[in-house]
Structure 1
Amino acid sequence: MQRLVLLSVLLCASCHISLSLTNGTASNGTVADGLLENGNFENAPNATNMKGTVVVGRYSIPGWVNEGFVEYIKSGQKQGDMLLVVPEGAYAVRLGNEASIKQKIKVIKGMYYSITFSAARTCAQEERLNVTVAPDSGVLPIQTVYSSSGWDNYAWAFKAIYEVAELIIHNPGVEEDPACGPLIDAVAIKALYPPRPTNKNSVKNGGFEEGPYVFPNTPWGVLIPPNIEDDHSPLPAWIVESLKAVKYIDSAHYFVPQGRRAVELVAGKESAIAQIVRTIVGKMYRLSFAVGDANNSCVGSLVVEAFAGKDTLKVPYESKGKGGFKRAELKFKAVSNRTRIMFLSTFYTMRSDDFSSLCGPVLDDVKLLSIQTSPNP
């Protein structure tokens, strides 16, 4: 009987441990894909740790450590004539001059991860955010607003060097009014799995299915920063080789030519995406891809320029802004055992229903295959 009681206690304990590990964590105890602990800041500080909107005490926001002038903002709060809107739930935080929020995350050493978070600037003109998981760090400019809501989702990637990663989001700006800092909300994480080429496609992640976490209830996609801001791409195998971001979109909120994910080239020639692929010198190849619009009122003459080594192709697409696509292909002869393929949008385009929001052509289903050529008679 004592053995049965002891066995029951052990089983109950193991069940409790298993449940606690699967509540926001993977089965091995590491963080699971999705919001971080209190990632949307809905779990509020105690009233005793608040002085108006200002958070008092480093450990006052559950799940986070805050440094400097940090405010806890409620949706609908006013700042002068400006109404502050929160994209996820009812609350967000605002980072004043040199302020930061931190959280430690249990990860798998050696693996790549992407952080997705929502950010909006307030009254400062050139706001930036420094995102760090040591030794990786990047400064993301957030002065360009890509959505009509005023909020944008940003992705940033890192390689886990240790089993516990400390994520730091820091406002490096110095304004006369510290309350002019950026708003932060909805911080999530996603493990990235490096894709590989196949015998049916030399391009890795050609359908863009592997990428950063996409929030299910924020319908404005995720911005992938240029590689000068991020040493590891949140879009595995691809490099954003431009000054501006590209937008990662999902089929739940946009028209996507194939699968569940695609890329929107939202900033003209400043929004380019590239990959270096293996080729055999002298062989002929066919680079095929889909060009369309995201069903987001991006109306007009869109053009995607494709590059493969020294060969180029311009693909026009007349968009009605209601979704749709066409396929194109570029044939070329490889002159090197490494060929750089790249895509960019020729023009800047604004949404027809919102002249403050950039948009552009959608790129998807990128494939590269060698062409069998007949021997000379």
Structure 2
Amino acid sequence: MVGVTVVSLFLLLITTAANSAVVSFRDGILPNGDFELGPKPSDIKGTEVLNKMAIPNWEVTGFVEYISSGHKQGDMLLVVPAGKFAVRLGNEASIKQRLKVVKGMYYSLTFSAARTCAQDERLNISVAPDSGVIPVQTVYSSSGWDLYAWAFQAESEVAEVVIHNPGQEEDPACGPLIDGVAMRSLYPPRPTNKNILKNGGFEEGPLVLPGATTGVLIPPFIEDDHSPLPGWMVESLKAVKYVDTEHFSIPQGRRAIELVAGKESAIAQVARTVIGKTYVLSFAVGDANNACKGSMVVEAFAGRDTLKVPYESRGTGGFKRASIRFVAVSTRTRVMFYSTFYAMRSDDFSSLCGPVIDDVKLLSVRKP
């Protein structure tokens, strides 16, 4: 019996060490970030995870559930966006993983989240000392699942990624579902002699999960100290959507921004300018080929100057170009874009959509 006990203890220590180990980071899905590797039968009761090290590569705290696709909670059917399994975070529950990163480097975290039965669901995302609160009560797609991005700067060589539900529901099994946790390194671009703005083509941004067809939501600036869209701030109440050419129609390059929540969905950047000098702000406005039909208007701002750009969308892709000429009245000029109207997909009245912005350039010009 003593030998069996020693062997069991040894195996337990190996399992614990493996789960709590620091894993070298590579762009893509985190180790078991899709939660397809689950707890042993002895570490789960119904859906509740009993051991904090039960889910391989993750440490769980509080009331965490391991959910299989098609699981029913009363009349509600829980759907998993990819694969067969996801986790649900109950009141004050969290999941965390430790990764080896490069100190001083910027990283963007991408994950899928879906609300269930709570009224005011939100998530605290943190990699010390950075943290942010992402509300998930607004559902942007009819599937109920949305992809979110959040960014941080590594303060040490080990990043402890924590996703926490601060909720206080009467039913602890009413928290948000989490799946598809991934990460990528960010390389903040600089202004060039061809564009005073940084990342004007939106090519640098969060990881878009393979097979994801919804785009990635980038939360408002007030919820993110470091933008997962380098160079840009989301200065609005709602998120903007990062879309890719693999799943959407893009005016230029491989990435663009979709303004999915009317005037509540805005992006902005502050550029260095010379007082009295003339500048031209040019950009492309289009649709993402996602059945977002109808009359759209993008409002562009460059300091004190504004321009409204109408775009009649057939929802099948396409774009037009526009520009605004202005004279700088400050050494720092704010450039901002938002959509005048809300829009819904014509084939899915539960999914928010809007005009696409891309290829944004700011250059100084000689006076005519």
TM over 0.5: yes
Q: Is structure 2 residue 108 aligned with structure 1 residue 114?
A: yes
8 A contact 1:30–1:108 mirrored in 2: no
Q: Is structure 2 residue 329 aligned with structure 1 residue 343?
A: no
| Match of residue 243, structure 2, among 249, 261, 270 | 249
Distance in 2 between the 1:47 and 1:190 partners?
A: 33
Q: Is structure 2 residue 127 aligned with structure 1 residue 133?
A: yes
Q: Structure 1: 5+ residue runs without aligned partners?
A: 1-24
Q: Is structure 2 residue 136 aligned with structure 1 residue 142?
A: yes
Q: Is structure 2 residue 70 aligned with structure 1 residue 44?
A: no
What is the match of residue 210 of structure 1? Answer: 204
Q: Is structure 2 residue 260 aligned with structure 1 residue 269?
A: no
Distance in 1 between the 2:57 and 2:140 partners?
A: 30
Is the partner of 2:103 in helix, strand or coil?
Answer: coil
Distance in 2 between the 1:66 and 1:31 partners?
A: 20
How much has 1:162 moved relative to structure 2? Answer: 0.7
Distance in 1 between the 2:171 and 2:254 partners?
A: 43
Distance in 1 between the 2:366 and 2:229 partners?
A: 31
Is the partner of 2:221 in helix, strand or coil?
Answer: coil
How much has 1:186 moved relative to structure 2? Answer: 0.4
CA displacement, residues 139-160 of structure 1 (integer Å, 9 cap, x when unaligned) = 1000001112110000000110
How much has 1:104 moved relative to structure 2? Answer: 0.5
1:1-377 pair list within 5 angstroms: 30-373=24-367
Please tell me the residue identity of whatever aligns with 2:279: Y
Distance in 2 between the 1:285 and 1:295 partners?
A: 32
Distance in 2 between the 1:237 and 1:88 partners?
A: 31
Is the partner of 2:173 in helix, strand or coil?
Answer: helix
Please tell me the residue identity of whatever aligns with 1:368: L
CA displacement, residues 288-331 of structure 1 (integer Å, 9 cap, x when unaligned) = 00000011111111000000000000000001111110000000
More off after superposition, 29-38 vs 339-348: 29-38
Distance in 2 between the 1:59 and 1:216 partners?
A: 28
How much has 1:30 moved relative to structure 2? Answer: 4.0
CA displacement, residues 241-297 of structure 1 (integer Å, 9 cap, x when unaligned) = 111100000011111101110000001101010001111111111100000001111
The number of residues matched between the two structures is 347
Distance in 1 between the 2:118 and 2:212 partners?
A: 24
CA displacement, residues 82-102 of structure 1 (integer Å, 9 cap, x when unaligned) = 111111211000001110001
8 A contact 1:278–1:338 mirrored in 2: yes
Distance in 2 between the 1:318 and 1:99 partners?
A: 46
More off after superposition, 29-38 vs 191-200: 29-38
Please tell me the residue identity of whatever aligns with 2:206: P
Distance in 2 between the 1:99 and 1:30 partners?
A: 25
Is the partner of 1:179 in helix, strand or coil?
Answer: helix
What is the match of residue 4 of structure 2? Answer: none
Distance in 1 between the 2:154 and 2:51 partners?
A: 29
CA displacement, residues 156-191 of structure 1 (integer Å, 9 cap, x when unaligned) = 001100100101100000111111110000000111
How much has 1:235 moved relative to structure 2? Answer: 0.1
Name segments (4+ residues, structure 1) moved above 2 Å.
none
Distance in 2 between the 1:223 and 1:162 partners?
A: 27
How much has 1:373 moved relative to structure 2? Answer: 2.6
Is the partner of 1:269 in helix, strand or coil?
Answer: helix
Distance in 2 between the 1:283 and 1:175 partners?
A: 56
Is the partner of 2:282 in helix, strand or coil?
Answer: strand
